[in-house]
Structure 1
């Protein structure tokens, strides 16, 4: 795993605004002119077979983070879930996270939640917290036969591993509209995304009209924390997944992606 560290750039607000406008327009053109057929059919009747399900906690006690931002995040998740819950992805169709949700705005009821700035600091911003939803959808997709066609890794590793149940780098960051999560149904059966909230958790699952004959196990290799050249440690790993057949025999070991992120805390270095 070879990674060439790039020096962080502190861009002006004007430069950031112009850059975001460019990438947003480029994404719109991609949606308009690509040959992709995007899923938009919402069916509240659930398909019969659960392929994979996972839940993540809604609230975490984070140092120097106002809990009101997490309460607002939950309200934002409720609005986004209304646009995604029950969507059916037919064979050869694409799922686009932002194409379905649309732009989060105050006018639509979205509130200020916690967002991560380009330099790794926390800010409050409209629609903040929706990365928890894109993280969840990416994770359950890795445990299905669906194919991730667009995903962006988090550029910063913000918190130390406390009660972490997933490998580092197994999420998908999101920012409207160009940091998108796109998934293609490369199977021959329809798939359905189901999402809901309990008092304590966000829960998501992929369902289908047929049982899945495969089981997936996501794991990491080559995990390291290395000193960077520009004042941060860098956390690295490579994600793979093992594929098992219905007889629980391993039939494949697939590369998923590699991750590199600036660490926003000091790692413990043993002797």
Structure 2
């Protein structure tokens, strides 16, 4: 009960912030426009098998189905949890990280969808308004499915992934699952020049700090993770 109250309070605070910043009516909506997307950028990630794998696949497919309905027109904002909604509804239990601990929880696994959306947005040069990395790095280089620093954790009401279409033409995320791989395309009505990403990591005490730069040495993001003694 108290947890649900805190979530509602957080959402109300976000509503007031969006109203003050004039972003309230900039969020993408389901589009039925007959647009022709002639260009694309694409990447893919392996979906690692682990406990709750079938539920994770279900969650990934449901999240992808929701996202695929939306088009980002110029100036519009993609909000992951506005599109996905509260994962307590319709999603299944799978592995996730809560308070630095790996647990089974409803909606587990959908952070791989938010992460791949974030990664392709960096490559395309879309404007990142909000993104949060995971608190810990649970993987080794052998088990990692995406470069460290390109993850995007989602906590409904608290942490969102928000991306603005800063181009003068519409774009659209299109996600599908094929043979245990997660595929994403950023579709566009005009050509987008892909950015090359450069990663630099360093140990700082008990933390791993990862910086991502573009080819002009512009810092795109910085992520900090607690080191784990035992990885998966």
CA-based RMSD: 2.4
Conserved 8 A contact 1:240-1:255? yes
**Alignment correspondent of 1:254:** 218
Conserved 8 A contact 1:45-1:86? no
C-alpha displacement at 1:24, in angstroms?
3.6
C-alpha displacement at 1:177, in angstroms?
2.7
C-alpha displacement at 1:143, in angstroms?
0.8
Measured in 2, the distance between the counterparts of 1:27 and 1:71 equals: 33
Conserved 8 A contact 1:42-1:84? no
Conserved 8 A contact 1:160-1:265? no
Measured in 1, the distance between the counterparts of 2:15 and 2:103 equals: 26
Q: TM-score, normalised by structure 2?
A: 0.87
Q: Which of 137, 158, 177 is the matching residue for 1:197?
A: 177
C-alpha displacement at 1:33, in angstroms?
5.5
**Alignment correspondent of 2:94:** 113
Q: Which of 165, 187, 191 is the matching residue for 1:207?
A: 187
Q: In 2 relative to 1, CA 260–19 (structure 1 residues): closer, same or farther, beyond 3 Å?
A: farther
Give per-residue Cα distances to partners, 1:111-144, cap 9 Å, x unaligned. 11111011x2111111111100000000000111
Conserved 8 A contact 1:46-1:86? no
Q: TM-score, normalised by structure 1?
A: 0.76
Q: Which of 113, 125, 130 is the matching residue for 2:110?
A: 130
Measured in 2, the distance between the counterparts of 1:116 and 1:46 equals: 39
Q: Which of 77, 82, 85 is the matching residue for 2:65?
A: 82
**Alignment correspondent of 2:125:** 145
Q: In 2 relative to 1, CA 266–225 (structure 1 residues): closer, same or farther, beyond 3 Å?
A: farther
The question of 1:161 aligning with 2:141 is answered: yes
**Alignment correspondent of 2:12:** 25
Measured in 1, the distance between the counterparts of 2:195 and 2:4 equals: 40
The question of 1:174 aligning with 2:159 is answered: no
**Alignment correspondent of 2:30:** 41
Give per-residue Cα distances to partners, 1:212-262, cap 9 Å, x unaligned. 2x23111122x22243xxxxx2111211112xxxxxxxxx33211112111
**Alignment correspondent of 2:199:** 220
SS at 1:26 equivalent: helix
The question of 1:98 aligning with 2:81 is answered: yes
C-alpha displacement at 1:191, in angstroms?
0.5
Bigger CA radius of gyration? 1
- Kindly indicate whether structure 1 or structure 2 has the higher relative contact order, using CA contacts under 8 Å at least 6 residues apart: 2
Q: In 2 relative to 1, CA 165–77 (structure 1 residues): closer, same or farther, beyond 3 Å?
A: closer
Q: In 2 relative to 1, CA 266–198 (structure 1 residues): closer, same or farther, beyond 3 Å?
A: closer
- Paired residues in the alignment total 228
Conserved 8 A contact 2:175-2:184? yes
Conserved 8 A contact 2:45-2:181? yes
C-alpha displacement at 1:17, in angstroms?
6.9
Measured in 2, the distance between the counterparts of 1:79 and 1:30 equals: 29
C-alpha displacement at 1:169, in angstroms?
1.4
Residues 230-269 of structure 1: pairs in structure 2 closer than 5 A: 233-242=206-215, 252-265=216-229
